[in-house]
Amino acid sequence: MLEFKKIEGIVENFQGLVDTKLELLKMESIEKLALASAAIIRRIILWFLLIIVLFFLSFAAAFYLSYKMGNNFSGFIIIGIFYFIILIILLSDQKKFIEKPILNKILGVLLR
């Protein structure tokens, strides 16, 4: 009878250990998800601000080039062609320029 009580106590302790470990894994997963979400939101905000700055700088450059060339639309065409070339370069190797950096950043946050 005493032997059975010892085994029962060991089983209860083991069950408590398993439950605690599962709870710890759950909390760690939630923490990593929260960190990843915060990093993604932070990046979205920074990219949004960068796009706004780039937008206004592009307009300034387009107006300046139009003024220097004496034509109202030539500066806008030059800036548009410049961005089109950048788009072609980025789309030609999407894995290198887009997918890998994003994947590395997300994995870096999740595996922290």
pLDDT digits (tens, 9 = 90+) for 83-109: 999 999 988 988 887 888 888 887 887
Q: Is the dihedral of CA 24, 108, 91, 95 positive or negative?
A: negative
Q: Read off the pLDDT band of 58 (50, 70, 90).
A: very high
**How many angstroms separate the first and last alpha carbons of the chain?**
49
Instruction: Answer whether 0.75 is exceeded by the pTM.
Output: no
The C-alpha atoms of residue 62 and residue 88 are separated, in whole angstroms, by 20
The C-alpha atoms of residue 3 and residue 6 are separated, in whole angstroms, by 5
Asked whether residue 1 carries a pLDDT value surpassing 70, the answer given is no
Chain-centre distance for alpha carbon 96: 15
